[in-house]
Structure 1
Amino acid sequence: MKNTKIVIALLAMQFLPMLVTGQKTTGTTPILAGFRDAVVQTEYGKVKGYIHNGIYTYKGIPYAQAERFMAPTKPDSWTDIRSSMAYGPVCPMMEPTTKVSDESEFVYHHDWGFPNEDCLRLNIWSSGTDAKKRPVMVWLHGGGYSAGSSQELPSYDGENLSKKGDVVVVSVNHRLNILGFLDLSEYGEKYKSSANVGMMDLVSALQWVKENIASFGGDPNNVTIFGQSGGGGKVVTLMNTPSAKGLFHKAIAESGVVGSFQDKAITKRVAAAVLDELGLQTAQIAEIQKISYEKLAAAGTKALQKVRAQLTTEGKPMAGGGWSPTLDGSFLPYQPSSPEALAISANVPLLIGSTKNEFVPSLSALRNGSSEDVKGFLQKKYGEKTDAYIAAVRKAYPADTKPTDLMDIDDRFRQGAVRYSNLKSATNTAPVYMYLFTWQSPVVDGYYKAIHCMEIAFAFNNISRCEEMTGGGKEAYALADKVSQSWINFARAGNPNHKGLPTWQKYTSANGATMILDNQCVEKYHHDKEFLEITAPKTL
Structure 2
Amino acid sequence: MTGVHEMPEATATLPTCEVRTRQGTVRGVVRGGVRTFWGLRYAGPAVRFRRARPGPGWNGVFDATTPKAMAPQAPFGGIFRTPPGGFSEDCLYLNIHVPDEPSPTPRPVLVWIHGGAGGSGAANQYDGTALARHGNLVVVTINYRLGGLAQLDVSAWGPEYQGSGDLAFYDQVAALEWVRDHIGAFDGDPEFVTIAGESAGAGSVVELCASPVSAGLFRGAIASSAPALSDRRPGGHLEELAKKLRLPPDRLQRRLVECSWPELLDLAAKARGRREVAKTYLHGKVADLIAAKAERAPDLVIGYACHEGDSMEFLTRQGLRRLGPLAGPMLHLLMLQVVPHVAGGRDQRREYLRRLRREHGVRYGARFNDLVWTDLFRRGAVEAAEGAARAGARAHVYELDVPTVIAGQRMRSTHGVDISLTFNCWRDPGAMDEPLTDDQDAPALADRWVAMIAQFCRTGSADGPLGSWPAYDVAERPVLRVAPRESRILRDPDPEYRQRVWPERAG
TM bucket (normalised to shorter chain) is 0.7 to 0.9
Give the 3 Å change call, closer, same or farther, for CA 293–533 of structure 1 in structure 2: same
* Bigger Rg over Cα: 1
Give, in whole Å, the separation in 2 of the partners of 1:38 and 1:183.
42
Give, in whole Å, the separation in 1 of the partners of 2:11 and 2:268.
45
Q: How does 1:290-329 map to 2 (within 5 A)?
A: 290-304=258-272, 307-308=273-274, 318=276, 326-328=278-280
1:494 aligns with 2:460: yes
1:196 aligns with 2:160: no
Aligned partner of 1:120 among 92, 105, 118: 92
Deviation at 1:452, TM superposition (A): 0.9
What's 2:387 paired with?
A: 423
Structure 2 length as normaliser, TM-score? 0.80
Give the 3 Å change call, closer, same or farther, for CA 190–382 of structure 1 in structure 2: closer
Give, in whole Å, the separation in 2 of the partners of 1:511 and 1:238.
27
User: Which of 1 and 2 has higher RCO (CA within 8 Å, sep 6+)?
Assistant: 2
Give, in whole Å, the separation in 1 of the partners of 2:299 and 2:417.
24
Give, in whole Å, the separation in 1 of the partners of 2:228 and 2:389.
17
- Report the secondary structure of 2:180's partner residue: helix
Deviation at 1:246, TM superposition (A): 0.8
Give the 3 Å change call, closer, same or farther, for CA 536–112 of structure 1 in structure 2: farther
What's 2:239 paired with?
A: 272
Give, in whole Å, the separation in 2 of the partners of 1:71 and 1:296.
17
- Report the secondary structure of 1:439's partner residue: coil
**Is the CA contact (8 Å cut-off) linking 2:193 and 2:457 kept in structure 1?**
yes
Give the 3 Å change call, closer, same or farther, for CA 109–364 of structure 1 in structure 2: closer
Q: How does 1:100-499 map to 2 (within 5 A)?
A: 100=78, 105=79, 108-109=80-81, 111=83, 114-128=86-100, 132-152=105-125, 156-262=126-232, 267=235, 269-284=236-251, 285-304=253-272, 307-308=273-274, 318=276, 326-328=278-280, 331-339=281-289, 342-343=292-293, 346-360=296-310, 363=314, 388-389=359-360, 408=370, 410-426=374-390, 428-441=391-404, 447-463=410-426, 465=431, 468-498=434-464
Deviation at 1:386, TM superposition (A): 5.5
- Report the secondary structure of 1:481's partner residue: helix
**Deviations 1:273-300, CA, capped at 9 Å, x for gaps:** 2344455433343453211112222221
What's 2:347 paired with?
A: none
Give, in whole Å, the separation in 2 of the partners of 1:365 and 1:176.
20
**Is the CA contact (8 Å cut-off) linking 1:142 and 1:227 kept in structure 2?**
yes
Give the 3 Å change call, closer, same or farther, for CA 129–280 of structure 1 in structure 2: farther
Give ranges in structure 1 of 5+ residues lacking alignment.
1-29, 312-317, 320-325, 367-376, 392-403
**Is the CA contact (8 Å cut-off) linking 2:14 and 2:31 kept in structure 1?**
no
Deviation at 1:508, TM superposition (A): 1.2
Give the 3 Å change call, closer, same or farther, for CA 526–221 of structure 1 in structure 2: same
Deviation at 1:117, TM superposition (A): 0.5
Give the 3 Å change call, closer, same or farther, for CA 362–55 of structure 1 in structure 2: closer
**Is the CA contact (8 Å cut-off) linking 2:295 and 2:392 kept in structure 1?**
no
Deviation at 1:235, TM superposition (A): 0.6
Structure 1 length as normaliser, TM-score? 0.76
Give, in whole Å, the separation in 1 of the partners of 2:159 and 2:356.
52
Give, in whole Å, the separation in 2 of the partners of 1:359 and 1:112.
29
Give the 3 Å change call, closer, same or farther, for CA 55–35 of structure 1 in structure 2: closer
Give, in whole Å, the separation in 2 of the partners of 1:493 and 1:384.
41
Q: Report % sequence identity.
A: 28
What's 1:400 paired with?
A: none
**Is the CA contact (8 Å cut-off) linking 2:127 and 2:432 kept in structure 1?**
no
What's 2:48 paired with?
A: 68
Deviation at 1:81, TM superposition (A): 0.8
**Deviations 1:290-339, CA, capped at 9 Å, x for gaps:** 111122222211111xx23xx5xxxxxx58xxxxxx523xx444442445
Q: How does 1:28-47 map to 2 (within 5 A)?
A: 37-47=16-26
**Deviations 1:430-480, CA, capped at 9 Å, x for gaps:** 211101111113677873221211011112222353573445553011111
Deviation at 1:412, TM superposition (A): 1.9
Give the 3 Å change call, closer, same or farther, for CA 129–260 of structure 1 in structure 2: farther
- More divergent stretch after superposition (69-78 vs 167-176): 69-78
Give the 3 Å change call, closer, same or farther, for CA 258–384 of structure 1 in structure 2: closer
**Is the CA contact (8 Å cut-off) linking 2:406 and 2:436 kept in structure 1?**
yes
Give the 3 Å change call, closer, same or farther, for CA 336–292 of structure 1 in structure 2: same
- Report the secondary structure of 2:309's partner residue: coil
- More divergent stretch after superposition (72-81 vs 135-144): 72-81
Give the 3 Å change call, closer, same or farther, for CA 37–347 of structure 1 in structure 2: same
Give the 3 Å change call, closer, same or farther, for CA 191–461 of structure 1 in structure 2: same
- Report the secondary structure of 2:95's partner residue: strand
Give, in whole Å, the separation in 1 of the partners of 2:315 and 2:254.
45
Give the 3 Å change call, closer, same or farther, for CA 58–466 of structure 1 in structure 2: closer
Give, in whole Å, the separation in 2 of the partners of 1:278 and 1:466.
41
What amino acid is the match of 1:220?
A: P
The number of aligned residues is 453
**Deviations 1:157-184, CA, capped at 9 Å, x for gaps:** 1000100011000000011111112221
| CA RMSD in angstroms, aligned pairs only | 3.3
Give, in whole Å, the separation in 2 of the partners of 1:180 and 1:384.
36
Give the 3 Å change call, closer, same or farther, for CA 454–85 of structure 1 in structure 2: same
**Is the CA contact (8 Å cut-off) linking 1:33 and 1:51 kept in structure 2?**
no
What's 1:80 paired with?
A: 60
**Deviations 1:478-535, CA, capped at 9 Å, x for gaps:** 111111111111111101122x433110101211101111021111112233344444
Give, in whole Å, the separation in 2 of the partners of 1:457 and 1:239.
24
What's 1:536 paired with?
A: 502
